[in-house]
Amino acid sequence: MINWESNVFPGILGRTCDRPCEPACRRGRVEEKPVAICRLKRVAADNKGEVKSLMPRAPKEKNGKKIALIGGGPASLTVARDLAPLGYELHLFDEWHKGGGMMRTQIPAFRLPEEVLDEEVNYVLDMGVITHFNHYVSSMKEVLDQDYDAIFVGTGAPRGRDLKITGREEAAKNIHIGIEFLANVAFEHRDKIGRKVIILGGGNTAMDCCRTSRRLGGDDVKVVVRSPFKDMKASPWEIEDAMAEDIPILNNMPPKEFVVEDGKLKGVIFGKVRAEYDENGRRKLIPTGEPDEFIEADDVIIAIGQDNAFPWIERDLGIEFGKWDIPVLNETTFQSTNPKVFFGGDAAFGPENIITAAAHGHQAAISIHHFCQGLDLMDRPAPGANLVRQKMGIHEWMYDNDIAADLRYKVPHEDKVITLTNRKIEVELGFSVSTAFKEAQRCLNCDVQTVFTDSLCIECDACVDICPTSCITFTMNGEEEDLRQRLNAPASNLTQDLYVSDTLPTKRVMIKDEDVCLHCGLCAERCPTAAWDMQKYLYNVTKASKIL
Amino acid sequence: MSYIRPVFRHPELAKNAIGYSRKDYEGAISTLCAGCGHDSISGAIVQACYEMSIEPHKIAKVSGIGCSSKTPTYFLGNSHGFNSVHGRMPSVTTGAYMANRDLKYIGISGDGDTASIGMGQFVHAIRRNLNMMYIVMNNGCYGLTKGQESATADKGSLTKSGSETKYPGIDLVGLALELNATFVARSFSGDKTQLIPLIKAAMSHPGFALLDVLSPCVTFNNNKGSTKSYTYIRDYIEATGTVDFVPKEEEITVEYEEGKSTSVQLHDGSTIKLSKLNPNWNPTDKLSAFNRVQEAKMKGEVLTGLIYIDPESQDLHDVMGTVQTPLNTLREDQLNPGMEALERINQSFR
C-alpha cells in the first residue's frame, strides 16, 4: 500500500519506468551501479497479496462537483485516484475500449503483462469513476458546453513523427509509424510483419518496435540510427535487452530514400555521417563521403519521436497555445489560460514519462480541488515531513545500517527461445524475494539523516576516526570554496551542500560532506554524548486527499 | 549490531608515495568505549604512517596490558604485532629490536602499564636508548578495571565516584628527561594537528622517543574535578610551540618568523620545524626544557608539544656496535667464522 500510495502504478512502473531515480542514487557514487530501485518496487508490488480491501473508497454521497478527465492514461488516472475519495463525480473519456492510455497502447505485453496493467488501472476505476470508453473526444467546445466544473486533459503526445523522404508515399503500405504499430499490435489488429524489418530511430519506442517485430515473424530486424550509438535516447537497459534478442543497431546512418519497385518496398538507402560537437556540446552530423548503403527491408517502422497534438481543441475557447503547439500553463498548478481547464502528463509540457505524468496528476488534482472549492490555487498545502530517532541500543538501530558490499544483482530473464515465440510472455522474471532482499541491502539509507547537536559535542574526534568514507572534519570555519579544499576528503560534488555546525568550544566547526556518506551510523555509535543521532526522514508529496 | 565497518571508502582518497591508501593502514573496528581518546591516537598513528609512506610490513607494534594496549588491534592491521605481558612491552620490544633493526617499532602502553607495573622496564628502555616510539596513552585511571586512580593521576584530582587523589602524580615527561631520554614530547588525543607531526618526528628519531599523550577516559575519568578530562585539558593546555615535520624529500616551504623558529635536523635527513611560543625555551637545550616543564607545573598548565630532542642521539645498536644487517637475517656462514678464527681468538688470550 505504501508503494501504491506513493507510486499509483507500482507494478507497472516497477517494470517500465524510465528510472529517473537511479542516476540520483548515491550508491553509484561509491561503486559502479545504483540500487535497482525500479525492479525492487516491482518485487514489492508482485508480492503484496490482497490489497483491494484496503483501497480508499469513494463516498456514496457525492460533493456535487463534476470533473471530465480526457484521456485514460496515467495522468488522468492519478487525478481520478486523488479526487475520488473527496466525493467528486469523475467522468473519464478514452478512445480505446479500456483504460491505461499509452501504458496499454505503447508498452508491449512482453514488458508489461496485461493482467498487471488491468489490476492497477482498475484499482482507480473501481473507485466509482464513470468511464466513457470507445469515445474519442473530438471537440473541447462540446465538453465545455456540458456542466463540468473542471476539465483535465491527459491525452499524452499521441502523434508519432513521420519521415517525409522519397518513396514514403509509394511504399506507405509497408511503412509504419512506431506508436501506431505498437497500438495495433496491442489491440490485435496486427499479428504479422515482414521477415526483414528496419526500425528507424533510437528511443525507447524504437526498442519496443524492434523487439515486437521479432515476435511477429521478423527474423532479420535491424535498428538504424542517424546519430552515434552513445547519443541514443533509449534507456541503456532497453538497448541491452534489444541487442540480447539478436537485433543489431547500426549507427551514424541517416535514411535518404525508401526504394520501391513495382509498388512494393524493397529497402532503404542510408547515408554515412560522423558526429562533431562544438564547444557548447551541440552536435553536427557531417557526411563522411563514404558511399551510401542500401539495406533490404520488407517493412520499415518509423520511431523518431512524438509530438503533442490537440486538433480537437478549438482555438477560440480561451485556451492559449505556445511554441510547438503546447498549451500555456501555470507550472505549479497546471491550469491553462481557461481557468476551468487543466493539463497534465505528456499533454502538458511535451513527452516525458509515466512517473512524471503521475506527479503532474497529483498537482493538478490539488488545483482542481482548490478550484472547485473556491480556494486559492497557489495556496498549496505543504508536503508532509517527519524525523524519527532510530536508536535502539549501543549497536542497534531501527534501520539496516550494515551496508552490503554486493554488486548490483541482475534480474533473471525468461529463455529467449520461449519469449520470442509469443509477444505476451514477459521477458523479465523479476527478482526472487531473497535476491530482492540482498539487492535492497545495498541501499545507503538516504532517508536516515545524520543529525548533529553542537551543544553536546566534546570534540573527542571519535566520529572523525571511525567514519569509513572520511565525511567528517573539525576545522576552522571559512568560505565554502576554501572549506571544500580543507576537508579530510575532497568535497568535489558541488551539488551536495556541506553540513556546517555552529562554532564549537575550540572555535572550530564540524563540517560533514554528505556526498558519499554511507549512513552506517558508526559516527553516532562512537559518539559518547549522542551529539550525533540517526533520524529517519519521511517525505510525503502533498496529495489532494489522504490515501493512507 | 555493527561491530563491522563498511568496506567502502571515499572514492577520491589519494594514495601515498608508495601506492597505499589510508585504508591499508587501518586495523579492526575499535571495541573501546565510544569517545575514548585512545581511538583518536590510533587514528593519528594511521594518518602519520600513511603520510610518511612507510610500508606497513616494515612496522612492528608491541603493547602490554590495558585499554591502551588493546589499541594495536585497531590500527596498522597489515603490520607485525605482539601483545605482551603487563608492563613487559619494553623487554619484548628490546628483543625484537635486537633481532631485527630494520623495522620501525611502535610501543603502546598506558599509565598503569608504564608508571606502575612496568616502571622498571620503562626506565631501562630509556637508559638503553632503544630505537622505538614509546606512546603512553595517559588517562590517569585504570579504565579496564572501572576507573581506579592510576600513578599519573594528579594530586587533588577527583575520580568519577568523587574521591580525591591523595598522592602526587608521576610526571613521565620529567622522569624521562631526568633519565636522559633523547626525545621527549607530550600531546593530547584531541589535538591531531599537533599529535600527527609529533608521531612522525618520534618515528624518525633514532633512539627512544617518548610520547606522553593525554587521552581522556570518557567512561571513568571525564568528570568534573578530574584533571584528565576533555574540558580540563582544553582549559589548561599550553604548547611549547607548533611542530612541523618535513621529510627529507620535501622542501621547507613554510615561512617562519625570525627568532621564534628553530629547526632540528634528524639523522635520516628529515627536519622538525618548530615555531616557539616561549623565547626562553630551546628544544635541544635540556636545561631550558627542565625549566619549561617545571614552570608549567607550577602554573598548573598542561604543557604539550616537543619538549626535548637530542639531535646527536645514538641508539642501542650504535652503542653496541652491531652490524647493519638485521641479526635475524645473518646466515650461519656469516655468524660462524670457522675453526681458524676461533683458534686465533683463543691464541690472543694465551
pLDDT in the model for residue B220: 94
Quick one: average pLDDT of A33-39? 94
B13 reaches A (C-beta below 8 A): yes
Residues of B in contact with A465 (CB under 8 A): 39-40, 42-43
Rounded Cα distance between B165 and A127, Å, is 77
The yes-or-no verdict on residue A203 having pLDDT over 70 is yes
> DSSP code of B173?
H
Minimum-distance CB partner of A461 among B2, B11, B190: B190
Rounded Cα distance between B275 and A82, Å, is 70
- Cβ distance A520 to B11 less than 8 Å, yes or no, reads no
**Cell output for A468:** 569509513
- Cβ distance A405 to B6 less than 8 Å, yes or no, reads yes
pLDDT in the model for residue B1: 37
Rounded Cα distance between A430 and B96, Å, is 59
Minimum-distance CB partner of B10 among A461, A464, A516: A516
pLDDT in the model for residue B172: 96
Residues of A in contact with B7 (CB under 8 A): 405, 468
Topology annotation, domain A55-158+308-372: FAD/NAD(P)-binding domain (3.50.50)
Residue of B nearest to A466 (CA): B29
Residues of A in contact with B3 (CB under 8 A): 395
> DSSP code of A81?
H
The CA–CA distances, whole Å, from B332 to A259, B63, B321, B336 equal 90, 32, 20, 6
B35 reaches A (C-beta below 8 A): yes
Nearest CA distance, B6 vs chain A (angstrom): 6
Residue of A nearest to B34 (CA): A526
Nearest CA distance, A479 vs chain B (angstrom): 21
Rounded Cα distance between B260 and B326, Å, is 41
Minimum-distance CB partner of A521 among B2, B10, B36: B2
- Cβ distance B4 to A402 less than 8 Å, yes or no, reads yes
Minimum-distance CB partner of A468 among B6, B216, B219: B6
Domain edges within chain A: 55-158+308-372, 160-305, 386-403+444-540
Rounded Cα distance between B82 and A449, Å, is 40
Domains A55-158+308-372 and A160-305 share a fold: yes
Q: What are phi and psi of B286, to 5 degrees?
A: -65, -35
CB B188 within 8 A of CB B11: no
Pick among 2.60.40, 3.30.70, 3.40.190, 3.30.1890: CATH of A386-403+444-540: 3.30.70
- Cβ distance B190 to A459 less than 8 Å, yes or no, reads yes
Helix (H, G, I), strand (E, B) or coil at A69: strand
Instruction: Identify the residue among A391, A442, A460, A467 best suited for mutation to test binding to B, counting B beta carbons within 10 A and taking the highest.
Output: A460
Residues of A in contact with B36 (CB under 8 A): 460, 462
Residue of A nearest to B234 (CA): A506
- Cβ distance B13 to A470 less than 8 Å, yes or no, reads yes
- Cβ distance A459 to B39 less than 8 Å, yes or no, reads no
pLDDT band at A325 (very low <50, low <70, confident <90, very high): confident
> DSSP code of A413?
B
- Of B71, B211, B66, give the one whose Cα is nearest residue B141: B66
Nearest CA distance, B248 vs chain A (angstrom): 24
**Contacts across the A-B interface (CB distance below 8 Å):** 104
Minimum-distance CB partner of B39 among A394, A465, A521: A465
Taking a contact as any Cβ pair under 8 Å apart, which residues of chain B between 159 and 218 contact chain A? Answer: 189-190, 192, 216, 218
Taking a contact as any Cβ pair under 8 Å apart, which residues of chain B between 279 and 338 contact chain A? Answer: none
Quick one: average pLDDT of A343-361? 90
Residues of B in contact with A460 (CB under 8 A): 35-37, 40, 189-190, 216, 218, 230
Residue A119 CA to its chain's centroid (Å):
20
Rounded Cα distance between B159 and B135, Å, is 24
- Cβ distance A516 to B30 less than 8 Å, yes or no, reads no
- Cβ distance A458 to B230 less than 8 Å, yes or no, reads yes
DSSP string covering A291-356, please?
PPEEEE-SEEEE-S-EE---TTS-TTSS--B-GGGPBPB-TTT-BBSSTTEEE-THHHHSS--HHH
Nearest CA distance, A461 vs chain B (angstrom): 6
Rounded Cα distance between A395 and A186, Å, is 54
> In terms of DSSP bridges, do strands A150-153 and A66-70 run parallel, antiparallel, or are they unpaired?
parallel
pLDDT in the model for residue A393: 83
Secondary structure tally for chain A: helices H, strands E: 18, 25
Instruction: Identify the residue among A458, A464, A484, A534 best suited for mutation to test binding to B, counting B beta carbons within 10 A and taking the highest.
Output: A458
pLDDT in the model for residue A264: 86
Topology annotation, domain A160-305: FAD/NAD(P)-binding domain (3.50.50)
Q: Residue for cell digits 627529507?
A: B248
- Cβ distance B12 to A490 less than 8 Å, yes or no, reads yes
The yes-or-no verdict on residue A124 having pLDDT over 60 is yes
Structure confidence by residue, pLDDT tens digits, A268-296: 999 999 888 888 888 888 888 888 999 98
Quick one: average pLDDT of A28-42? 93
Minimum-distance CB partner of B2 among A459, A469, A522: A522
> DSSP code of A119?
H
Beta strands in A236-278 (DSSP E): 249-250, 255-261, 264-270, 273-277
Q: Which domains does chain B have, with CATH numbers?
A: 22-320 (3.40.50.970)
DSSP string covering B43-97, please?
HHHHHHHHHTT--GGGEEEEE-SSHHHHGGGGB-TTSEEEE-STT-HHHHHHHHH
Q: What are phi and psi of A346, to 5 degrees?
A: -60, -25
Residues of A with CB under 8 A from a CB of B: 29-31, 394-397, 401-403, 405, 458-462, 464-466, 468-471, 489-490, 492, 505-506, 516, 518, 520-522, 525-529
Minimum-distance CB partner of A520 among B2, B192, B218: B2
Nearest CA distance, A522 vs chain B (angstrom): 8
- Cβ distance B6 to A403 less than 8 Å, yes or no, reads yes
Q: Residue for cell digits 538516504?
A: A446
pTM score:
0.83
Minimum-distance CB partner of B35 among A468, A522, A527: A527
Rounded Cα distance between B96 and B105, Å, is 9
Which residue stretches of chain B have pLDDT < 70?
Answer: 1-2, 249-261
Report the 10 Å Cβ neighbour count for B107: 31
The yes-or-no verdict on residue A455 having pLDDT over 90 is yes
The yes-or-no verdict on residue A8 having pLDDT over 60 is yes
Which residues make Cβ contacts (< 8 Å) with residue B295, sequence separation at least 6? none
pLDDT in the model for residue A536: 93
Nearest CA distance, A48 vs chain B (angstrom): 29
Minimum-distance CB partner of B34 among A505, A516, A527: A527
CB A246 within 8 A of CB A417: no
B172 versus A307: which is more confidently predicted?
Answer: B172
Rounded Cα distance between A343 and A76, Å, is 9
Mean per-residue pLDDT of chain A:
90
> In terms of DSSP bridges, do strands A220-224 and A249-250 run parallel, antiparallel, or are they unpaired?
parallel
Minimum-distance CB partner of A29 among B11, B22, B30: B11
Minimum-distance CB partner of B34 among A31, A397, A528: A528
For a pLDDT cut of 70, what percent of chain A falls above it?
A: 100
> DSSP code of A24?
G
